[in-house]
Structure 1
Amino acid sequence: MIGLIRRVLLLALCVAALGGPAVAAVSEAFESPALTARLVTVEDGIGPDAGSVSAGLALNVAEGWKTYWRSPGEVGLPPEVDWGASENVAAAEFQWPAPVRFRAFGIENFGYADEVVHPIRVTLAEPGEPARLRAAVSMLACSDICVPLKFDLALDIPAGTGIDQASAARVAEWAARVPAAPEASDMELRAAALPPDGGTLTVALDRASGWQSPDVFPELGKSTAFGGPDIRVSADGRTLWALLPVLALSDPPGPLTLTVTDGPDATTFADVTIAATPPPPPYAVEDAARPWSALAWILALAFGGGLILNAMPCVLPVLSIKLSSALSAAQGSRQRVRTGFLATAAGTMAFMLALAGLVIGLQALGYAIGWGTQFQNPYFLTVLTLVLGLFAASFFGLFDIALPSGLATRLAAAGGRGHAGDFATGAFAAVLATPCSAPLLGTAVAFALTGSAFEVVAIFAAMGLGLALPYLIVAARPGLVAALPRPGRWMLAVKAVLGLMLAGTAAWLLWVLAGVRSEALAWSVAAVLAGVIAAMGLMRARTAWRGGAMAAALGLAAAMVALPAVMRPEARAAAQNGPIAWVPFARAEIARHVSEGHAVFVDVTADWCLTCIANKSLVLERAPVADALAAPSVVAMQADWTRPDPRISAFLEAQGRFGIPFNIVYGPAAPEGIALSEVLTPGAVMDALATAAGTRVAGRPGE
């Protein structure tokens, strides 16, 4: 059909060259600040036996505005035309020139800027008879704001002959931009794959003449939305491999249509067969090598981020483990102190390298990885809660955690008391330090999770080195532990305090577990942990008859059983209520709120992110920030990532982030958003709100 339109238009141009002057076939214009619209036709009149008319909806779009393609992307509305009031019109085939990609508010949109003419092939009900075209147009135009437009265009075409040369040239130009069919193109679709549960659409295409500036626009049902494509081209320039993250998937998905553009050329592949497994990244596709200078800078950021983790709220749960290690080391020789802290540092490094290996393996299997997302796993939380609860009980003196006698004997025979416990302490500290992201760490993690296997290992090793630096300093200067007081009764009080810290951490993990999976599971874990602690405490009390130990065991057991009562949904909701009226995260709503002139503050948080909790209690819920977020001109939007949520994961990935906390502010003056540091300050939040709004925000100091 497209080829037929082009032939008709060329014929029309030839006729125009031979004919005399003709009345322009252009409707009265609809004008708005966003665009000017006209209905145009190539023919000035309908000749005898003519069965169709070549027309076009011509849109002159104002600077800074855009209109939408038939598949607008994540948000937007394509033009719709109702021809019901027309006369002598049997059908109207609306054509879509190839779109361009727009990105605003972190959202991908497809459409047109400056100018577009949608070719229309009008089939007449009565060939050779005059026609009255009546187009009722409904569309959306967007800039910093979005404006819905509804208008009518009218054009009468009398009987007669003649061609409007200007309209013919204009319609022909845009008809040439309508994507061609595969058989009329040198683009060849090799494969398309999408896992049944969504994830990432993978596409491989060949082009004999080579790719220059390709782009891919997928369509998979009205409710399906894709993020920006990651496009790679092979070394010979002929093979294209694209990955497009699925942000929302229709249920059930519609047929897959792919429109591929490359400069002025475009091809549409309809009813594409979708495989379940992606084509291998090869088709000789090669990643562009990143410069060593960039990697060196990222390694420095990773080291700094790992070092800062030692001072972040995330590290509070492991403070007791670190202090206990120092207390134990103070009673040994300098050599024992040195080797013990080296073993602890080795445990930290080993965990980070193991984490790097896990990331590489999961990426090879096609999984999306995020920093700290293991705390979304109920099994991980269950094991960690039990371990911390048992550690807390041991600090209270209910029982001792020791290696099996045979293993301890072999380790001692190998030289010294052995350092398996020190090694485990370092690894455990690294595990508990991963829920949150520290300043500098977000950039390093993003670089690692989008890089090669070598880069992943190098960056995670640098993070581990920064996290282990305090242990290495003590290992280098073992005399530092000599500053600790001599062992005595004070150590019992310190161990009790440290035990309370670990018990509090176990309680916090139960809170997280209730949010991740269910209150019932958290209750069950608490009951099991309480039973184990009580049994061990009673055994210790029978053998040594320590009333204090038995009382502590029974008290801790009772507390663990009673704890889930505060995890009921109503209790959790009451705890989360505060001075800020948070609205649930909805990525598409960001653009709508900004179009209405609001600033949008997005807070990506989770129950397991201690830095997020600190930001909330120390900055967001205190004046002046709380007052600013409550202002009518500001929308406070919260994305709760306690449980896995592909929408939030895709949003973070689109922002180049793989961990939390993450806060970003959008507004009329900041459509791409202003990302904030992981550790918030009132001044930074207020400045971002004011900048995004393009004005000062109510509640700012000095107003």
Structure 2
Amino acid sequence: MFLKNLLVLTSAAILFAPAIGHTEPVVKDGTPRYVETDLIPEFNSITEGQPLHLAITQKHTPGWHTYWKNPGDSGETTSIEWTLPKDFKAGDIIYPAPETQPTGPLVNFGFGHDETLLTSVDVPKVIADDHVTLTAKISWLVCHDVCVPEMKEITLNLPVIKDGTAPVANQPEIFTAARAAIPVPKPWQGMLEEQNQALTIKFQLDEDGQKMLAGAKDFFFFPEEWGIILNAESQNIRVENNQLIVELRRDTRPLSDIQTLNAVLTFVSEKGDKESVALSIPVTAKAVTAPVAVPPTSTTPPEPTSFVQAIFLALLGGLILNLMPCVFPVLSLKALSLVKMSEKEQKHANLHGLLYTAGILVCFGSIAGLLIALQMAGQQIGWGFQLQNPIVILLLSYLLFTMALNLSGFFEIKSGPLANIGHKLASKHGYKGTFFTGVLATIVATPCTAPFMATAMGYALTQPPYVALTVFMALGLGLALPYLMLCFIPALRKSLPKPGAWMETFRQFMSFPLFASVAWLIWVYAQQVDGGYGTILGLSGLILIAFGIWIARHEPRRQPWKTGIHALSISSIILAFMIAGFSHTDATQTKAEKESSVPHISFSTTEMDTLIAGNDPIFVDMTASWCITCQVNERVAIYTDATQSLFKQKNVQYVVGDWTNQNPEITAYLNHYGRNGVPLYVFYGGRDATTGQRPEPKILPQLLTSGLIADVINGEE
């Protein structure tokens, strides 16, 4: 289950909460457990074709809790790994209504009392055997001031009823109570709206709902999906005018990630009974893309109040786009190519202007149409949405890199749609190239956003499709307008410098804004694809592009070398595109990466034996990714500059044991110190130079501060 590390980072206050003493675990089957779990079938036998319902009973040691299907700000839900006969299929776990489990500034969702979960197994209509064996490996995380992963494997051997005999119920009171605790589904129609980092849900109550919620209090809304709301923020839930109104603070996960928001609402009825209902709200495109009001500032253009104003702002934004480093080289070279045109060639100039504009408008229309269609389908995207895909980013960097190499004189494009960059456009054979140069200008403009564009685009995307497309076309027209005016107005062309050798120098100079744009795109790509790994991938792709072009320039005249060079050039280009094709977004940072910035030694028994045999002091940190206390301690106490400087000054060897996954050596180490969970912090003082002995190891508290670590290392505690 997903552990919300960002919320963990804000949890330093937990370190100053009073520590709660350990409650001894229950020893069951020779294994200490904080949750006593059992798996009970509803009947003592299996009937062919009838599902088998099962209860998972969990008895908690006082003060300890387990987790709901959405564990909240941290934790991990209960899971079952089944081993079933052929054609048997396991169902989902059905949970009772959860409770909030506050942990410092965080709020988790789970159970701190004895609870019963339900599940089922679908049984085939024909079973060959007289008995069936079902094995369930049940895993859960139980937490107090530490978190302990627990597991129990349970095997059921049940007879199969084939003669129509009625099955015998097994502890029916458990199933009756468990079903009564399941939230009651309600068909209340809901409407969801997101605005200003707030989520408002309004349910229209039917007559039964009005009676149920009359006089109710102590409401709490539990979403089944993580990351939708800030769990620790207060919830404003009330009944008004036959409506249930739920006002929540939004978290960072986009609503577009889910199609339906399922949730449980708990409350105390007018009679004082604790009750719960299950609710479901479709996440519509309107809910996802609800406009967010932005407080006006002196630098923010006024929000368009009319269609005409939106068109004006779009034109202005398109004009300014021409000054962006991605676009300016294309425009300037296209403009300079008009220098040699005489007044007698005005018709050719006009046609070039129209074709360049057509290329821009066609490309803008295609991007805008796709954007509008995706938004109507419920996607939360905006201008430049394609740049959220690392494949597009890398391909765009390839394109700009190739253009920059061409402008710098590294190679010449003698034919194709790019042939007219920096070349004469007067011939009729250049018309097709002019159209595609307009397309190219639009493509290279997509990473840029000019002033006034955001206001125009924001207006467009709240309007009907035909209005939105018109505004986008105005933006494209603004981008095309400077070149269009040069083509249609001879006097403007006369104001351009006279042709000469300086044009080649200027052409080469224009490659540098494109190289700068490539550097920026590679940086963006590295943010999307795993940091330094993404940088290596992106640069490797650029090297392959350059190599493929370079080797093609050195084409021999004789076979078979000519074919071999062709194949090598094409292979380099294909390999570069394969790098782009296999790119995938990875915005998260792995634990290993987080730790890489802090010098440490990975725990192993051999490594510990070597260190203990030495003279240096040792600080052992037994941690896990799913351990909330571990993560907080690391960030506010261990990874701080003060602690790391102290480690360096005292030559303390920092050893990290990661128990995120099972590790027998770490388990044995924990058991040696009487622990069966993390965190565990142990400090071994340095060897005394006179006696040659180490002092006894010191076990630190499970809630740390930098000062406490310093006191232990300096011998003050």
**Normalising by the residue count of structure 1, what TM-score does the alignment of the two structures yield?**
0.38
**Normalising by the residue count of structure 2, what TM-score does the alignment of the two structures yield?**
0.37
